[in-house]
Structure 1
Amino acid sequence: MGVSTTAEPPYRRIVEEIRGQIAAGELGPGDRLPSTRQIARRSRVALATATKALNALRQEGLVQAIPRVGTVVAVPEDEAAPSGPARPRTSTRPEQELTRERVVRTAIEIADSEGLDAVSMRAVAARLGAATMSMYRHVASKDELVLLMADAAFAEQGYAEPPPAGWRARIELAARTLWTLYRRHPWLAQLNPLTRPLPLPSLLLHGEWILAALDELGFEPAAALDLEVVLYSHIQGLAANLEREAHAQAATGLTDDEWVEQQGDALNAIARSGRYPTFAKLMATFAHDGYDLDLDKLFEIGLRMLLDGLAVLVEQRR
């Protein structure tokens, strides 16, 4: 009589490997784990399998998701500071307690920590400890889920009435509020092409704040909308680089500084060619003083330039 054996599920092999690395001290508290995409590529499994493995490790309390960092080894409870936050654990509440709000909020947490590509109905269900099909009782599809995520994210900050005095102060407030939201949720920059605006009430709240200021200045509707789009594209365009950098780090394992350092020889060769003297002068300066590409600083520079230009238009209309 033969004895049948059942192969260990692929996700369990990944769990055992990472658990062993943590136990051996190869991965310590705070160390970042590979992304789901990197695990899938290295272990030759589907993304869903890699996601299931990380979710199993979260349920055990061995790892935790940190927004815009990824999944890291959790600090053991007996080593955590008494006043610090409790270690997050995956929810395992029964399916009947699922709500649309919980599904959407969990999907946002996944997108914040792992990127929008990591969001799927299966991934959200695994994070909630629920069956995948139970998601469809609350959200019809992933496309609907993404819209609900975006609307919830843009609704996280609003505006107090009455508005600040003056059109410039009002537009500055709206622009900085949007930048804060994009900073918090960089995946938002992927969603809303200027040519295909999404019907998101919470996004329109921010647009309304800007449009009202422009309307009070007497701009025609088309001109006001053009100006609002220009302001919005400045914010969205810079924010898109936040998500691209996160993807680049996940794909290469290099920070932006490390990547630039690797390009040093090629950039210096271009500078020495003599074809680009201004660039060569900049490179010589940066070799001594360095250069930090600060997106927050660029946001403020761009906003100031746009509003200064708008002030000229307003003055010309008088």
Structure 2
Amino acid sequence: MAAAVLEKLLPDLEVVEAEAGWDCFTRHGSAVPERTLESLLECGAGLFGAVSSPAGRVEGYRSAILTLRQKAGLYVNVRPVRSWPQVSPRPDVDLVVVRENSEGLYVGIERLDATGIAIAECHVSRAASERLAAKARAIAELRQSRRITIVHKANVLPLTGGLFRDSVRDVLINSGFGALVDERLVDVAALDLVAGPERFDVIVTSNLFGDILSDLASHWCGGLGMAPSLNWGDGVALAEPVHGSAPDIAGTGQANPIAAILSVALLLRYHWRKPELAERVERAVEAVLSELPLDGLGSRTTTELERAILEHL
């Protein structure tokens, strides 16, 4: 669906399909075959579909999207949340969560010690925090932001949380953004996202906190079916709808394609630097949502939504 939007906007685009995910692991013993990683790096951009993962630990399995983020150097995750006609419960929300994408607890290093205690390592480096801040600065410039909020838990985790906060803050202040920078403890940020999401513009935070806060904030854009994201590195990017897979409705026409389509807009805006095309996609989505009947998205099939968006393009 999202690929069709790209092909309409960029008629010379070549689309290369590649395998990843749990089904791929069961067939080939790898959630991300080497050829898939090579294809992404050769193309320089990709669109990640919703894939399933096992609920528990499976020997040899590693999440496909985490593997791609780390091996392809996709060190930032961009997750915007904005109000949309008819599907959003609040009219004036327009924020973006800029999430560190390569470190934190998501490095996936866990062990069980001799006493039966399960231990997970949390990695935070100045280099990764600074390159995140540089991307956040670029996004803030494009958005002409009024505020950049650093979210952390340095009061409880002074080494990891403190290093993250200080590294990000130093980059932003040294870049001339000092007057725009504030900070929140993650629990306070969660409350503020529920009580007053309009207060936020750009949120810069760590891997785990960014994952949770962006899902929480997606309530204001109409839920996870409306929530896009972009995994972004240097010279390579992977658009990814935030929602997971829904095998129970596969083939029924009930899946909402808008998160994937809006993820394409992020690819256009930030990676390919084609903001005018990104705006065309977003305007088309807005127009289709404005035309929905009173019963909302539930009355439109996946194909009908896709066709309507393509027509507005």
* TM more than 0.5: no
Query: Of the two structures, which has the highest relative contact order with CA contacts closer than 8 Å and spacing of 6 or more?
Result: 2
Q: Which has the higher strand share?
A: 2
Q: Which has the higher helix share?
A: 1
